[in-house]
Amino acid sequence: MKLSKDELNNLISMFNSSDADNHVIAFQAIENSGLTTSELIVLYKYSKKDSTAWGKQAPNSYKLLVPILSEQIGSLSSARVLGLLTTHKADKLLVELFIENFVRDLTSMLGNIGYDMNKISIDVKIKDDGQSTES
């Protein structure tokens, strides 16, 4: 079952919440939704939860991720995520979601190291090639 971009963003927001109950509910939603491989990869990346939490809270989803993420399960780079999304032919909206979260994190990092974010604009647009599918 594919979730909408807003639904996936809501799950990411729940993981980023300071309320631990939101984390539990997000894991339950993931475990009960039958998400695509690409959706799981993006959620794993931006959940900010380690492999132990995923293994406990969403064991079936975690089992799907382990062989795909292999040795990088502990520290999943953005470049690796983008490569996996390409390999799994993720649809345009999921790639946009990944890039939006990547840009958000990049913007935060740049602001934290002193760049005036009012003077920086990062715009990303994905052109539709008409060949997006999900495996």
pLDDT at 1: 63
Among candidate residues 82, 41, 91, 83, the one with its CA nearest the CA of residue 61: 41
92 contacts 130 by C-beta, under 8 angstroms: no
pLDDT at 24: 96
Q: Is the pTM of this model over 0.95?
A: no
For 42, other C-beta atoms within 10 Å of its C-beta total: 23
Give CA separation, 95 vs 8, 51, 134, in Å.
Answer: 12, 23, 11
pLDDT at 42: 95
Q: Is 104 helix (H, G, I), strand (E, B) or coil?
A: helix
Q: Which residues in the chain come in under a pLDDT of 50?
A: 132-135
For residue 60, what is the enclosing H or E element? helix 59-69
Distance of CA 61 to the CA centre of its chain: 14
What angle do the packed helices 59-69 and 20-33 form, to 10 degrees? 80
Among candidate residues 68, 63, 122, 134, the one with its CA nearest the CA of residue 95: 134
Residue 58 per-residue DSSP state:
S
